[in-house]
Amino acid sequence: MAESLRLGSRGILLVLVLCWAMGTAGEAADKVSGTLTVKDALTLPNQTVRIEAQLTDKTLAGGPARGGVSLQLHIDGKPVATAKTNEGGQAFFDYTPKMRGTNVITVSIDDAALVAAEKTEATLCVWERRRPILLVEMAAIMQPKLSPSVSGSSASAGTVTEPSAQPVPDAAEELSRLTQYYYNVVYVPGGEQSPTEAAPIGSVRRWLESHKFPAGLVVMPAPGGVSTTIETFKQGGWTTMKTGIGRTRSFADTLLHHRMEVVVVPELPKGELPRKAKTAKEWKEVRKKL
């Protein structure tokens, strides 16, 4: 009799475990698959910054927004705030950093939400206005890819979504030296890339980190391209953006139009370099030109 009771108890426990597992699996299956994106943010010490997250539904073409979903914000791993997405799928968090530096922003979805998406990270740059800002075109730090279709093929800018994309030799080391004591760096796709061609911002951050580039602000293309980026910084009071490093003629022309200095690396073919632009054969020469 005792043995039968023990077997019966085990059977009941097994049934309960199976029911719980099936219910959990059902809840997971019912969740909508979404995508979280977060923009990099820039502010001053002791000045409140608004951090913006966007949640979209990736199960349907066009990625419609998801409203009413609770998101959680962490700064450097510490919980800071929660907010719900609006009808446009956006959620906003206000945060006031105390010290100058670079912080990791992490946004995740509440476990109880009916939407499932991987947590996403961004960079919070807390800068002082007096420190110069260096604008760096992504094409200047990535090895160009060669088109295999034509003999003597021409080079075009690589993209961070390509597994084989490699950095230009010495670029990470030289940028690290420039940013260690003097410059703050802003990375922009710029040049020949349009907003529709640009890699996802998360891919850009991961590529920079994996190849040991110094932390900086990543600014994705917007209507108007690099020119709009420069104007936005000026309007925000960041008037120390006066220098840039690029690879393309279009990037150099844009910076010169805004009366900024620009170093083009590597050298452009004869006749393509704008008259007032500086040039360097390789990244080891760049510091001498700034």
pLDDT digits (tens, 9 = 90+) for 191-201: 444 444 446 78
- Positions of the chain with pLDDT lower than 70, given as ranges: 1-29, 58-65, 145-164, 190-199
pLDDT digits (tens, 9 = 90+) for 8-58: 555 554 444 444 444 444 444 577 888 899 999 999 999 999 999 999 876
Q: What is the pLDDT of residue 63?
A: 52
**32-126: CATH architecture:** Sandwich (2.60)
For residue 209, CA distances in Å to 123, 135, 185, 203, 213 come to 12, 18, 14, 10, 6
Domain regions of the chain by residue span? 32-126, 133-289
Q: What is the pLDDT of residue 236?
A: 93
State pTM to two decimals: 0.80
Q: What is the pLDDT of residue 64?
A: 58
For residue 47, CA distances in Å to 43, 73, 100, 210, 225 come to 6, 18, 11, 31, 27
**133-289: CATH architecture:** 3-Layer(aba) Sandwich (3.40)
Dmax (CA) for the chain in angstroms is: 98
Q: Residues 71, 84: contact at Cβ < 8 Å?
A: yes
Q: Write down the mean pLDDT value for the chain.
A: 82
For residue 110, CA distances in Å to 62, 76, 81, 262 come to 24, 18, 12, 45
Q: Residues 198, 219: contact at Cβ < 8 Å?
A: no
Q: What is the pLDDT of residue 181?
A: 84
